[in-house]
Amino acid sequence: MRLPDEPDIPAQINIVPMIDVIFAILTFFIMSTLFLTKTGGLPVNLPKAETTQPQRSESTPITVTIEKTGQVSLNGNAVVLDALIEQVTKLTGNNQNDFLVEISADESVSHGQVIAVMDKLRQIPGARLAIATATP
């Protein structure tokens, strides 16, 4: 029961907790999108192509990188070209199903060296090759 001499207190909506929740959600989305980008690998200048198509794989693709110095790396670890077949076979184990091997070659690497790496990888049963490019 109200007394007649009490002033009317207007209804208020406290928005400070709502702002806190919005900032928490915003922070979550910002942090999660940072982890969606592909980081990792070695720094190479990929050639640009307008007609690229993403390749899908059930498992994580194996990455073979050819730096501009000619150094070949398998998932970031330096490897000799002659040992490439053995190292990729170790990574796949007994899984002879189709698996994706992504070749990231610097645009200044000679065509012959890329073909030599592709030739080695084609000797592995079940290997599907994809060449990484940058979109213009």
- Residue 17, domain member (yes or no): no
Give me the phi and psi of 44, to 5 degrees please.
Answer: -130, 150
Give the DSSP H/E element, type plus range, for residue 74. Answer: strand 72-74
- Residue 77, domain member (yes or no): yes
- Residue 29, domain member (yes or no): no
Whole-model pTM over 0.85: no
Nearest Cα neighbor of 136 from 58, 56, 68, 47 is: 47
Q: Give me the number of domains the chain comprises.
A: 1
- Residue 111, domain member (yes or no): yes
- Residue 107, domain member (yes or no): yes
- Residue 103, domain member (yes or no): yes
- Residue 122, domain member (yes or no): yes
Q: What is the CATH number of the domain that holds 69?
A: 3.30.420.270
pLDDT in tens, 22-65: 999 999 998 888 777 555 555 666 666 666 666 666 667 788 88
Query: What is the per-residue pLDDT for 110?
Result: 83
Q: How far apart are CA 65 and CA 60, in angstroms?
A: 15
Range of 113's domain? 62-131
pLDDT in tens, 78-94: 888 888 888 888 887 76
